[in-house]
Amino acid sequence: MTNPASTADTRPDLEMDSDLDNSLENIDDLNYATLTEALEQTVFENFDDGLYIGMMSGTSLDGMDAVLCQFGTDTGSEEKTQQPMRLLASYSQDFPLRLREVLLALCQPNGVQTLTPTADEPNSELDWFGWASREYGEFASEVVNTLLTQADTDVELVLATGCHGQTVRHRPQMGFSLQLLDANIIAERTGISVVSDFRRRDMAVGGQGAPLVPAFHQALFATPDSTRVLLNLGGIANITVLPATSDNSSNQPDDVLGNVVNNVEGNVVGYGVAGYDTGPANLLLDAWTALHTDKGYDAGGAWAQSGQVIEPLLNQLLEHPFFAKPYPKSTGREDFNLAWLQDELQKFEQASAVIRYSSADVQATLTELTAISASAQINKFIDANGNTSVYVCGGGALNDYLMTRLQAHLPHCTVETTASLGLNPTWVEAVAFAWLARQTLMGETGNLPAVTGASKNVVLGQVCFA
């Protein structure tokens, strides 16, 4: 099947002179006035009939997740309170060890200096960036093809793949964010058009380019009955607050944090959809675990639970300036990383030489850091007498001890995973990028300006046609 968008003339006001028009009058396949007209000539009647692939590799770099899904507009009920979605297949694969090592090095300024290149490998940061972009594309292509094989799905049924790439530098204060990815490789190896580079269009209009998932959370999870908070615990923790739609009928994509009202305690009592990063999550937990054990992560939080929270250290870590920043705000490895943690531990030891602690105690403290920094922000939006639920997604949703600590800090609401809403917490972000890819193909906006700080709604991403 010809990719519909690749043959579309997306300039509806294009005027052709009569001679040229007559010379082309017999061509009926290559001169569609709009993308929609082109789509109508394919097996798809609209963008809802096709399948979409979403891909995500987060800050924690624990692997690549991919999903195959389909979106629709009819819920089958009189009230359309959400954007329905069918998750058809999912697949996750660990990064090749060398690629992961290089990605981690690229995440830190001049980090590639720690790499020992072989004879056929690069020896400069920019060359390593190019090498990793291509290798990432090849690896992502393998993941897509494996997903389709396991799902027994024809590639022709897929309209697009939304691939975020790997963030190796996020500098919103400088107006840029770099996602490492060669989308051309994926389009060529899979035969599917690829939507990528989602952040920079938002940044071009003054936004931070993050977080991007609140618009998807709103489309899929908002309800008229209660306030829902989505807490994503990936490498970095971020929240999306979805007020009950019946209480905020004007809650449009651009009706967000720009109009908030605070009560005397500083809690938010009037708002639209809210979303921003709250601090570190698996990024520090995984790094400390890998440094002191033979495991890549603290399964179930068992190691952290065996330790004791070091309260003076916790208070010191909470002095990081990011926590005091007003929203909209976003962060990443640039602010929170193993080197930062080790520096903080050195300062703590110098100031508190009499305090003895174990590596398990530090893990318990890092877990508490995630729980308390996230819950402190969530509590700003919670009325003790209201109807609010917190739904957790991302790898941290599988950390039983962290979930317990979150519930302890959120006494006025229930804390569950998004499985309670019908979507496994592991796949939420990958589905979000499938949804964002669909938004791009439809020419629909994908950012929430007062979440990211952008001056207006814009269509996100660039399309590499297969």
pLDDT 10s digits, 252-281: 433 333 333 344 344 544 457 899 999 999
Q: Do the Cβ atoms of 428 and 169 come closer than 8 Å?
A: no
Closest CA to 456 of 267, 241, 202, 261: 202
Q: CB neighbours of 363 closer than 8 A, spacing ≥ 6?
A: 285, 288, 289, 292, 298, 303, 304, 307
Residue 80 backbone zone (phi > 0: left; psi -120 to 50: alpha; other: beta): beta
| CA proximity to 230, closest of 33, 396, 17 | 396
pLDDT of residue 30: 47
Rounded Cα distance between 175 and 290, Å, is 33
Query: Which helix (H) or strand (E) covers residue 137, if one does?
Result: helix 125-151
Sequence length of the chain is 466
Residues 66, 430 contacting (CB under 8 angstroms): yes
Q: In what order do the strands lie in the sheet with 51-56?
A: 85-93, 64-71, 51-56, 158-163, 194-196, 462-464
User: What does the alpha-carbon distance between residue 129 and residue 49 come to, in Å, rounded to a whole number?
Assistant: 37
Q: Name the amino acid, one letter, at 425.
A: P
**404 contacts 430 by C-beta, under 8 angstroms:** no
Measured CA distances, 104 to 115, 179, 257, 401 (Å): 10, 13, 33, 27
Say how far apart CA 342 and CA 130 lie, in whole Å. 30
- CB-count burial class (<10 Å; 0-12, 13-18, 19+) for 351: exposed
Residue 89, SS3?
Answer: strand
223 burial via Cβ count (<10 Å: 0-12, 13-18, 19+):
middle
Rg (CA), the chain: 23
**Tokens standing for 226?**
């209660």
Q: From its phi and psi, is residue 34 left (phi > 0), alpha (psi between -120 and 50) or beta?
A: beta
Beta bridge partners of 229: 241, 390
What are the tens digits of pLDDT across the range 108-147?
A: 989 999 999 999 999 999 999 999 999 999 999 999 999 9
Confidence (pLDDT) at 19 = 43
How much is the pLDDT for 59?
84
Q: How far is it, in rounded angstroms, from Cα 214 to Cα 275? A: 6
Distance CA 451, CA 258 (A): 8
> Whose structure tokens read 């009928």?
249
Q: What is the DSSP string of 212-234?
A: -THHHHHHHH--SSSEEEEEEES
Q: Which residues pair with 275 in a beta bridge?
A: 240
Which residue intervals of 253-299 are DSSP H helices? Answer: 282-292
Please name the residues in contact with 92: beta carbons below 8 A apart, sequence gap of 6 or more.
63, 64, 65, 66, 426
> What's the token pair of residue 12?
């509806």
Gap between the Cα atoms of 366 and 290, Å rounded: 14
The SS3 of residue 461 is coil
User: Using CA atoms, how far apart are residues 290 and 75, in angstroms rounded to an integer?
Assistant: 45
pTM score, whole prediction = 0.85
**Alpha carbon of residue 279 to chain centroid:** 14
Low-confidence ranges of the chain (pLDDT < 70): 1-48, 73-83, 246-271, 384-385
* Gap between the Cα atoms of 429 and 56, Å rounded: 7
